[in-house]
Structure 1
Amino acid sequence: MTRSRLAVAAALAGALAVTACGANEQPQGAGQAAATRGGTLRVLSEGQTVNFDPAKSASLAVTSLALVHRRLTAWHNKPGEQAKVVPDLADVGKTEDGGKTWTFTLQEGLKFSDGTPITSADVKWGVERSFAPSVSGGLGYHKQLIDGGADYRGPFEGAELKGVETPDARTIRFRLVRPYGDWPWVVSTPAFAPVPKGKGAEPDYAEHPVASGPYQLAKYQKGVEAKLTRNPHWDEKTDQVRAGLPDEVVFQLGQDASVVSQRLTADSGDDKSAFGSSFVSAAQLAQLSGNASAKQRVVTSKSGALAYLALNTEKAPLDNPKVREAFQYAVDKTSFQIASAGNAQLAGDVATTLITEGIPGRERFDLFPAPPAGDPEKAKKLLAEAGFPNGLQNLDFLVAKTNNAPEKAQALQASLARAGIQTTIRTLDGDAYTEETSVAPTAKFDLTLASWQPDFPSANANIQPLFASSEIGGGGYNLSRYRNPEVDKLIDAAQATVDPAEAGTKWAAIDKLVLQDSPIVPLIYTRNSFLRGSKVTNLFIADFPAYPNYLQVGLTS
């Protein structure tokens, strides 16, 4: 159950460029007029592409892909509320054997954009298609869980996935290899969007998808534009998470971030009906500070991805838990905030837990109480007790060459030096960084800077990918190479728990147990800010995730 490399790259790129402006400290919707039906909404994107193939997508359930494709379940997320799973194409599922078998019933009357009925066979085909090597790259939480999935290679040569059953046109049943309480969340990921049985073998399906959501892809030109128009067969009465307000949604691709900020600040012409899909940088926020109109149009997350310092637990001296504990006190989180966004408030709150805000079951605690600027003397004491009275020398500090990550690493380097921990920063481009940290069976680095936002609103998605021993190397994201058989056992038990409250209690206990071993140093819960034009309304960021909910956005008349 490895998170896709694409998703992690996006998380790293995003969380390493965090900013904030306090807009969401106002009552939600303040300064945003009521939306009306109609108009053309424009999304200004730095990316050269936008991917509408559900098998290849790592899109969150509230962003671009969900405008075109529905899934079995969806997310209800609002500011001030914990996210919850809700029906989409189907109900939220039932299990009668403790979470090993899950059955979903589709709503009646659902249709694709070509007018054909959406059936359970189409959902099954979409899931099976996600296993085909030719369309790999999407989220894969389901691939090792569905019975038969470990060796399955997709449906294009006639093979069926035995763990997915469709006894009738509206019923789909998943037989898993083990009990899994978060399965209703997993079926909200892109692979559980329906694809008409028999379609999707063509390599350009992403440019000609058959839609189930409120919009269909009418035009696509890489690096230029993706234009969505209304799906005439979408029925809003069956959809509780998509408002479907604009007549068209146009993604303008390949836009320079600084130019996007300038255009939205100027707020003229079509840009009044646009918002930027990329974070507003600290420098751009500073420029906005003197523009009262633009400041009112910045929307900011309350919290966000966990930025953290990973310690390679396989390498001496970091294989010593007391040495790792010293890092908890050596790090100056305030200087990291300043390096991130200019000041502490803009960057995001100091982090002390692994589970991020807005996730059910999260508990607040601090096992290593220290001032935000750190306690270097305490760190030195712990190092001396561990047998290093002269500190640590020549630690390899690996950093991805993205955004201002090297500058953040330098801030951490300086604070570690106060505690007698000497490091050498080494930067790598994205692919080389991923190869060394995530793919290689062993790693030569000592420290690395990273971030993580879960793919669905469960502590499972916070903890399992980063700390299960199964996620070491081979494309996994246990960057600290952390192995603890007790933690692995507890992760399995928490994943098998169907009751959300009971599962949340178990995940909170795992959070504390992992942090007692100090495989990482939590730094901050990064904030993200986005800028909108004056006619864009109902653009909000819930407590989770730290991105706007595209599905509710509309325009004023």
Structure 2
Amino acid sequence: MRQPSVSARRVAAVSVSLVVAAGAVACGPKDDDAKSTGGDSRPHKGGTLNVLNAQPQQDFDPARLYTSGGGNVPSLVFRTLTTRNRENGAAGAEVVPDLATDTGRPGKDATVWTYTLKEGLKYEDGTPITSADVKYGIERSFAPELSGGAPYLRDWLVGAAGYQGPYKDKKGLAAIETPDARTIVFHLNKPEGEFPYLATQTQFTPVPKAKDTGTRYEEHPVSSGPYKVVKNENDGEHLVLERNPHWSAATDAERKAYPDRIDVRSGLDSSVINQRLSASQGPDAAAVTTDTNLGPAELAKVSGDKALAARVGAGHFGYTNYLAFNPKVKPFDDIKVRQAVAYAIDRSSVVNAAGGSALAEPATTFLPNQKSFGHTPYDLFPAGTSGDPAKARELLKQAGHPDGITVTLTHSNSKDFETSPEIATAVQDALKKAGITVRLQGLEKNDYSDKTQNVKTEPGLFLAHWGADWPSGGPFLAPIFDGRQIVADGANFNSGQLDDTSVNDEIDAINKLTDLGAAAARWGALDKKIGQQALTVPLFHPVYKRLYGKDVKNIVISDWTGVLDISQVAVK
């Protein structure tokens, strides 16, 4: 797990469903299978979809991608064992089969997971995709020169901790077995009921060993999806995808693949992207963005134009912005002081600083307010919409600070709104009413990360944010509150340095559950239990508002990514 790139908006992960249809080959979906767009026409095959992004689509190699980094673009080329359900809203937070026939079959208390590949799967050159290719794709993600992907497999697979990849260790990982060309078996160190979610990560992309070119593989990765790479300039600055003629729609119910061509241009200024999408002239009429939100001023302009407002996609992604405490730094070693800060927070002013209610929703729970995370509503320190300074002063008095306290709030100087000076100032103003004088310490982005993610330098109070690698409470709560994930020498995200045996044991117990609904309920209850320790103050959950061109049809926005799914769109 890692904290998401703010500018990329941590657009997460990957997910599929359907029965196998052997051997069929198709270049795109049939028009009569298309979803209705709600307009006077249905989506059709053909045309070019243009993608305008701020962040380059760098390291286009399934071993190096952290799935969030490229929005939806990687899933057009890289298929995985499982993927996200490509539906609107909450239904899109479900994990479904992709290359596999199901989401996995657990054994031995979820320490063994078995998958069977669908029949008729082929690469862009027409050769069959095998279980050995999936195994090899995973193994090469361990190579130091291909680092960058999600770290879970190193921790979860038996004997994988010291593995250095197939270039140095020809034996491979014994924890992954391939008894035949369509079967793959994973042996885990401990029960992991959410392994089907992990199998959506790009490391589970099959890679034919004979075509592996190491660090140059990103220049022309072999496609298992509906599109293949025909151009990759300046490490993803300009990426062009065209149809993979051997992709079979019969084995892929999720990706609609309507356009003939996808043209991705990155490194653009965010304001320019929104201007071009707004004007929607020429090729920009058939354009979308996977990483650029509308800002408050832009949103106000768009909202006043009915035609433009109709071209705004709104979505929610599992993401929380919060105040983090380090209880090892005075006065935050006293829970009453932490509670006082929680009561003093004026969430309405924080939301306004984050762009207003159209772009941010007030939060009183650490888990995002979505069913898949197990969200359980609670407000342990009710401050109303504008704070309760009287209650905060009372708690400070009980803590031995009748005249108030002076503290330092560390934040980033970056204009990304989550940890920005504007958010910090809103917190400062609210706490002042409760007798808490806040000195602001603004740091440049790298310095901010280095300071707040190091247990030796972590400040007592700072702005933080977290997004999940998949829509579940597990990758949300464990990295922040599991005591065994405290990192003494490296990037540490357990800011409260909580090491509570009852919390750790409950995390282990939930991880054994393969009933994801039952697990979600337990994650929600655990969130509330941890919240009683006042180690964080949830502030808000972001809302994503993004423009798309006037010729873009079939808009699907799921609660897995929170943004338009380009595997579903069609263009005129």
Same fold (TM over 0.5): yes
Q: Rate the CA distance shift 1:165–1:357 in 2: closer, same or farther, 3 A.
A: same
Residue 32 of structure 1: CA displacement? 8.9
Unaligned 5+ runs, structure 2: 11-35
Q: Is the Cα contact below 8 Å between 1:359 and 1:459 reproduced in 2?
A: no
Residue 206 of structure 1: CA displacement? 1.4
The residue that corresponds to 1:382 in the other structure is: 395
Q: Match for 1:358 among 370, 383, 405?
A: 370
The residue that corresponds to 2:323 in the other structure is: 309
Q: Is the Cα contact below 8 Å between 1:356 and 1:462 reproduced in 2?
A: no
Counterparts of 1:517 and 1:448, CA distance in 2: 17
Counterparts of 2:371 and 2:145, CA distance in 1: 34
The residue that corresponds to 1:256 in the other structure is: 269
Structure 1 runs of 4+ aligned residues shifted over 4 Å read 28-33
The residue that corresponds to 2:16 in the other structure is: none
Q: Is the Cα contact below 8 Å between 1:349 and 1:524 reproduced in 2?
A: yes
Counterparts of 1:32 and 1:419, CA distance in 2: 57
Matched position secondary structure for 1:211: coil
The residue that corresponds to 1:515 in the other structure is: 531
Q: Is the Cα contact below 8 Å between 1:541 and 1:547 reproduced in 2?
A: yes
Percent identity over the alignment is 38
Counterparts of 2:498 and 2:258, CA distance in 1: 47
Is structure 2 residue 247 aligned with structure 1 residue 237?
Answer: no
1:242-391 alignment runs, 5 A limit: 242-277=255-290, 278-302=292-316, 304-341=318-355, 343=356, 345-360=357-372, 361-391=374-404
Q: Is the Cα contact below 8 Å between 2:131 and 2:182 reproduced in 1?
A: yes
The residue that corresponds to 1:406 in the other structure is: 421
Counterpart code for 2:504: D
Residue 30 of structure 1: CA displacement? 5.2
Residue 303 of structure 1: CA displacement? 6.0
The residue that corresponds to 2:500 in the other structure is: 484
Q: Is the Cα contact below 8 Å between 1:399 and 1:425 reproduced in 2?
A: no
Counterparts of 1:105 and 1:186, CA distance in 2: 16
The residue that corresponds to 2:20 in the other structure is: none
Counterpart code for 2:329: K
Counterparts of 1:137 and 1:182, CA distance in 2: 22
1:96-111 alignment runs, 5 A limit: 96-111=107-122
The residue that corresponds to 1:76 in the other structure is: 85
The residue that corresponds to 2:431 in the other structure is: 416
Residue 304 of structure 1: CA displacement? 4.9
Q: String of CA shifts for 1:88-143, please: whole Å, max 9, x gaps.
A: 00121101211000000001111111221111111001111111111111112222
Q: Rate the CA distance shift 1:62–1:102 in 2: closer, same or farther, 3 A.
A: farther
Matched position secondary structure for 2:83: strand
Q: Is the Cα contact below 8 Å between 2:6 and 2:416 reproduced in 1?
A: no
Residue 11 of structure 1: CA displacement? 4.0
TM-score, scaled relative to structure 1: 0.92
Give the RMSD, CA atoms, in angstroms: 2.0
Unaligned 5+ runs, structure 1: 16-27
Residue 148 of structure 1: CA displacement? 0.9
Count the aligned residue pairs. Answer: 536
Counterpart code for 1:478: N
Counterparts of 2:142 and 2:367, CA distance in 1: 30
Q: Rate the CA distance shift 1:198–1:425 in 2: closer, same or farther, 3 A.
A: farther
TM-score, scaled relative to structure 2: 0.89
Counterparts of 2:333 and 2:84, CA distance in 1: 40
Counterparts of 1:73 and 1:125, CA distance in 2: 17
Q: Rate the CA distance shift 1:201–1:472 in 2: closer, same or farther, 3 A.
A: farther
Matched position secondary structure for 1:409: helix
The residue that corresponds to 2:64 in the other structure is: 56
1:447-458 alignment runs, 5 A limit: 447-458=461-472
Q: Is the Cα contact below 8 Å between 1:330 and 1:415 reproduced in 2?
A: yes
Counterpart code for 1:435: D
Q: Which moved more, 1:478-487 or 1:186-195?
A: 478-487
Counterpart code for 1:465: P
Counterparts of 2:546 and 2:289, CA distance in 1: 6
The residue that corresponds to 2:144 in the other structure is: 133
Q: Is the Cα contact below 8 Å between 2:313 and 2:563 reproduced in 1?
A: no
Counterparts of 1:554 and 1:408, CA distance in 2: 38
Q: Match for 1:430 among 430, 438, 445?
A: 445
Q: Match for 1:85 among 90, 95, 105?
A: 95
Residue 33 of structure 1: CA displacement? 5.3
Residue 199 of structure 1: CA displacement? 4.3
Counterparts of 2:135 and 2:88, CA distance in 1: 34
Q: Which moved more, 1:31-40 or 1:532-541?
A: 31-40
Counterparts of 2:326 and 2:7, CA distance in 1: 18
The residue that corresponds to 1:47 in the other structure is: 55
Is structure 2 residue 160 aligned with structure 1 residue 164?
Answer: no
Q: Is the Cα contact below 8 Å between 1:145 and 1:176 reproduced in 2?
A: yes
